[in-house]
Amino acid sequence: MKVTKAEFVISAVHPGQYPKDALPEIALAGRSNVGKSSLINRLIHRKNLARTSSKPGKTQTINFYRINGELFFADMPGYGFAKVSKSVRAAWGRMVEGYLTTRDMLKGAIQVIDLRHPPTRDDVAMYEWLTYHQIPVIVAATKADKISRGRWPKHLKQVREGLDIDPGDSLVLFSADTGQGKEELWTAIRRLAKS
Ligand code: GTP
Ligand code: MG
C-alpha cells in the first residue's frame, strides 16, 4: 500500500478523546517492547512517528495514527511489563479492554509476537481474549532479522502452535529493521479494514 499521508492524531487516556472520524481502526497488541510502534513506523515508512524505545513501557496511552485518511492504527500499551505497579497495570488493562470491547469502528487487531521465542503465557492469554471477543487477529511475528532465514519455518510453527492460531487469522513473518513481510501485512490489514 502506498502511504501518502500518516498523521499522529491523539494520545488518548479516556474514550472521550478517541477520534470521531468513523474510519476503520486496527489496534496493535503485544508484549511490552516487542516492537509494536516500530512495526507501525515501518508500515508507514516513517522513522519515529510512533515513538519507540529500547526500554519497555514506552507507550502508555492509546495513540491514534490516521493513514491516508483511510484508516487508523491504534497503538496500545504493551502487556507483561513487570516494572509498573499493580494499580497502573490494572488501569492500563481497563483502558485497553474498554477500547477493544466497545469500539464500533474496530476491525481487528495486529498481535505482535517475537519470532525468536515461543509465545509467552501473556501472549496466549491475549490471543485467547481477542478470539473470545470475536476480534479478528493478524499475528505479526516480528524481529525476523534476528534469526537466520533457514530457521524461520521452525519458529513460525512455534508461534502458530503456541497460540493455536485460528485458521481464519493470518500469520505474517515481519521485521521492522528490514521491511520483511511489509506488503503481506498491508494486504492482510486492507482485508480487515474492508470487512
Ligand atoms: P512499548 O511501547 O514499550 O510496549 O514497546 P513497543 O512494542 O512499541 O516496542 P518498540 O517499537 O518501541 O521497540 C522496542 C525495541 O525493539 C526497540 O529498541 C526497537 O528498535 C526494537 N525492534 C523493534 N522491532 C524490531 C525488529 O523487527 N528487529 C530488530 N532487530 N529490532 C526491533
Ligand atoms: Mg510502543
Classify 80 as helix, strand or coil: coil
Task: Answer yes or no: is 43 within a domain.
Answer: yes
Give the residue numbers spanning the domain of 69.
6-194
pLDDT value at position 88?
66
Testing ligand 1's pocket by substitution, the residue of 52, 112, 175 carrying the most ligand atoms inside 8 A of its CB is 52
Instruction: Assess if residue 1 is contained within a domain.
Output: no
Give the integer Cα–Cα distance in Å for 38 and 176: 6
Q: Hey, what's the cell of 125? A: 492469554
> Among 140, 181, 176, 177, which Cα is nearest to 159's?
140
Q: Cβ(146)–Cβ(161) under 8 Å?
A: no
Q: Calculate how far, in angstroms, residue 35's C-alpha sits from the geometric centre of ligand 2.
A: 7
- For residue 135, tell me if it sits in a domain: yes
Taking the CA of residue 41 as reference, the ligand 1 atom at the shortest distance is 11
The structural domain count of the chain equals: 1
CA atoms within 13 A on the CB side of 40: 31
Q: Which atom of ligand 1 is nearest to the CA of 60?
A: 2
157 is a domain residue: yes
Per-residue pLDDT of the chain (195 residues; tens, 9 = 90+): 788 899 999 999 889 999 999 999 999 999 988 999 899 999 999 888 877 767 666 667 899 999 999 999 999 888 776 556 666 667 677 888 899 999 999 999 999 999 999 999 989 999 999 999 999 999 999 999 999 999 999 999 999 999 999 999 999 999 999 999 999 999 999 999 998
Residue 151 placed within a domain: yes
Among 28, 31, 33, name the best residue to mutate to test ligand 1's pocket (greatest count of ligand atoms within 8 A of Cβ).
Answer: 33
pLDDT at 82: 56
Q: Which ligand is nearest to the CA of 111?
A: 1
On whether residue 21 sits in a domain, the answer given is: yes
Look up the CATH number of the domain holding residue 68. 3.40.50.300
Cα separation, 182 vs 29, in Å, equals 17
Beta strands 106-114; 71-75: pairing state: unpaired
Residue 144: inside a domain: yes
DSSP string, 116-144: TSPPPHHHHHHHHHHHHTT--EEEEEE-G
In a domain, 70, yes or no: yes
Return the C-alpha cell found at 174. Answer: 515481519
| pLDDT value for 161 | 98
**Distances, alpha carbon 123 to alpha carbons 86, 126, 128, 194, in Å:** 19, 5, 9, 26
